[in-house]
Amino acid sequence: MIWDADSGTAICGAPAFDDTCLTLRWLSARNDRLVTAGNYHLRVWQVDINLPKLHAMTAKMGNMRRVITSLTCDADDEFAYCGTKTGEVLKFKIDRDPIMAYNDPDKTVPTLKGYSKDRLGKGVRCVQATLDPRTGETLVVAGAGDGTVTLLSGSTLTAVRGKTAVVMGAVTSVSLSPGGDGVMVGTAQSNRYFVSMARWEVELRATCHCSPVNDVVFPRDCSDLFITSSNADIRVWNAALRQELLRIQVPNLDCGCIGITGSGATIVSGWTDGKVRAFYPESGRLKFVINDAHSEAVTSLALANDNEARPPWRLVTGGDDGRVRIWNVTSTHQAMAHSLKEHRGPVLSLRITSDNKQMVSASTDGSCIVWDFDRCVRLLAFFEPTVFQAALYHPDESQIITCGSNHKISYWDAYDGSAIRVVDGSDTEAMTSLDVEAGSGERFVSGSADKLVKVWAYDDGIATAIGTGHSGRVTAVKFSPDMRSVVSVGADGAIFIWDLP
C-alpha cells in the first residue's frame, strides 16, 4: 500500500506477490520507485500517482531459491543488495524502466547478478549500502543472526579483509552515522554498538533488558543507583548516566523480585526455581543461596529494618505456594524462623513497617493479611473480589493502600482493616504496582496494564500527572529516595526514568 504522509490516506495498492513479502525499501534518489522482497522473489515497483497505479517488475532469479529478509540500494540505485535467511548476500541489477518492462518484460526486468560465496551464520538479518570515501566503491554492511557484523565489497560480495566483528546477540538493525565514519548496530539482546569504519572496532554504547522487567528497587538514601530484575539477570544502573554498571546472570531462570539491605551490602533476589539468591553489589559474586525457600517460584520479598552488621537480620519471602516465610540470616547460615500459610494463592506483595512490628501480605486469592511480625500471628485480614497486585503502608502507617485486577486503588485502615476509599486507577485495565512518597506521603505513583504511569495526590485521590511511553504492561514503579524522579519498568523490557512534576 502507498500512503500520503500528510493526509494519512491510502493512494493505491497491489498484491505484493503470490508468496510472503518480508521487506521493502524506497530507492535512494527517487520518490516514485521502491523495491520489495520476500519468499523467493524480488520486485521493483513504479508508483504512478496520477492514475493512481503500481507497476511491478519481478526479478529473474534463475535457479536461485532464497528467502530474502532484508535489502538495501546503492547510492546510484543501480543495484539492490539483499540478505537471505540462509546467510548469503544477493546482488540484483534494478535500474530498469517499469513501464517498458510492462510492455516488453523479457528485456528490462531486474536480474540477479551475483551472490556471496561465504555464508553468515543464522541468516543475514540486515544490510546497509555505503560508499568507500577513498575509492568511491560501494560497500555493504551485513549483520547476521549469530552476531557477526561484516563489510563486503559491493562488486565481488567478498568480505573486506579485517572488517569482521562479533557483537552480543543477533543483529537486528544497522544504521550509518551521518558522517559516514561508522555504523550503529542494534541486537536482539538489547545492546547498541558503534562500529568504526576505519578500524572496524566495536564499542558498546548502550544496553537494556531484552525481556520483561519484573521489579525495580533503589538502595536506601541513594538516588544515583537503582537495580532491576528480569529473565536470567539482575542489573545495577547509574540513574544519571543511564548506564549499566553491573550485570548478574543466572541462566534459564527468571528473577521475579529483588531487594537490597539497608547498608547496601547485599542484593537479595527471588527466582522461579524457588530459591533465594544473594549477591555482593560491587562484584555480583554469589553471597549465599537459600535452597527450597519455596516449593514453587519466589514471587515477593521484603527486608526487615535490621542492622545487617549485627546479625541475624531478617528476610521475608512470599511464594507461588501461598506461603509467607521469615528467615534469620547470618554470614554463615540462613534459617527459616516461621512459615505462615493462610493465603490460597501466590503472594505478590510484602511490606514491613519501619519499626518491624507488623507486616502486610497481598495475594491473588483476593485477601490481604496484616501479621504481627514478632509473634508471627495474623492480626487482621481484609478481602476484595480482585487479584491483589500490590499493598503498602502509608509512611505514617495508619493506612494501607492496595491495587489489583479490578482497576481500583483502595485505602484501608491499618488498625481494623475497614475500607476508607476506593479510587478508579484505570478505566479498563488492571492496576499492577504502587509506591508511596517517603516522609510526607503526600503523593503516590501507580503503574497499570494500560501502559500508563500516574502520580496521585494521596489525600485527594486525584491523578496529578500521567506518563505515557511504555508499550507494554507496567510491572513496577518506584520513587527515588530524593523524591525527584520515578523509575518504572514494564513487560516491554523498558526502563523509564520520569522527572517528577
Q: Which domains are present in the chain?
A: 2-207 (2.130.10.10), 213-499 (2.130.10.10)
As to burial, measured by CB atoms within 10 angstroms (0-12 exposed, 13-18 middle, 19+ buried), residue 74 is buried
Q: Are 113 and 91 in contact (CB under 8 A)?
A: yes
What's the distance, Cα to Cα, between the start and end of the chain in Å?
Answer: 43
Count CB-CB contacts under 10 A for residue 432.
Answer: 25
pTM value is 0.86
For residues 378 and 263, give the distance between their C-alpha atoms in angstroms, rounded to a whole number.
30
- DSSP-based three-state secondary structure for 149: strand
CA proximity to 255, closest of 206, 200, 217: 217
For residues 193 and 494, give the distance between their C-alpha atoms in angstroms, rounded to a whole number.
18
State the number of CA atoms in the 13 A half-sphere of 182 facing the CB. 13
**What pLDDT, on a 0 to 100 scale, did the predictor assign at position 202?**
94
For residues 154 and 139, give the distance between their C-alpha atoms in angstroms, rounded to a whole number.
5
Q: Are 436 and 395 in contact (CB under 8 A)?
A: yes
- Residue 8 region, left (φ>0) first, then alpha (ψ -120 to 50), else beta? left
Q: Are 65 and 41 in contact (CB under 8 A)?
A: no
Cα R_g (the chain), whole angstroms: 29
**What pLDDT, on a 0 to 100 scale, did the predictor assign at position 258?**
97
**What pLDDT, on a 0 to 100 scale, did the predictor assign at position 133?**
80
**What pLDDT, on a 0 to 100 scale, did the predictor assign at position 97?**
61
CA proximity to 488, closest of 191, 228, 222: 228
For residues 164 and 388, give the distance between their C-alpha atoms in angstroms, rounded to a whole number.
52
**What pLDDT, on a 0 to 100 scale, did the predictor assign at position 136?**
85
Which residues are CB-neighbours of 225 under 8 A, at least 6 positions away? 218, 219, 236, 237, 238, 239, 245
CA proximity to 115, closest of 142, 134, 76: 142
Count CB-CB contacts under 10 A for residue 294.
Answer: 26
Give the 3-state secondary structure percentages of the chain, helix then strand then coil, rounded to 5.
Answer: 0, 55, 40
For residue 478, the cross-strand partners are 487
Residues present in the chain in total:
501
For residues 237 and 215, give the distance between their C-alpha atoms in angstroms, rounded to a whole number.
13
Triad 376, 382, 386: Cα angle to 5° = 120
**What pLDDT, on a 0 to 100 scale, did the predictor assign at position 341?**
95
User: What single DSSP character describes residue 319?
Assistant: E
Count CB-CB contacts under 10 A for residue 120.
Answer: 27
CA proximity to 157, closest of 104, 112, 202, 204: 112
**What pLDDT, on a 0 to 100 scale, did the predictor assign at position 102?**
53
CA proximity to 281, closest of 214, 222, 352: 222
**What pLDDT, on a 0 to 100 scale, did the predictor assign at position 104?**
54
How is residue 151 written as a grid cell?
Answer: 563489510
For residues 299 and 258, give the distance between their C-alpha atoms in angstroms, rounded to a whole number.
10
**What pLDDT, on a 0 to 100 scale, did the predictor assign at position 390?**
97
Handedness of CA 129, 131, 132, 138 (dihedral sign): positive
**What pLDDT, on a 0 to 100 scale, did the predictor assign at position 103?**
55
Low-confidence stretches of the chain (pLDDT beneath 50): 101
**What pLDDT, on a 0 to 100 scale, did the predictor assign at position 46?**
92
CA proximity to 253, closest of 269, 235, 231, 227: 231
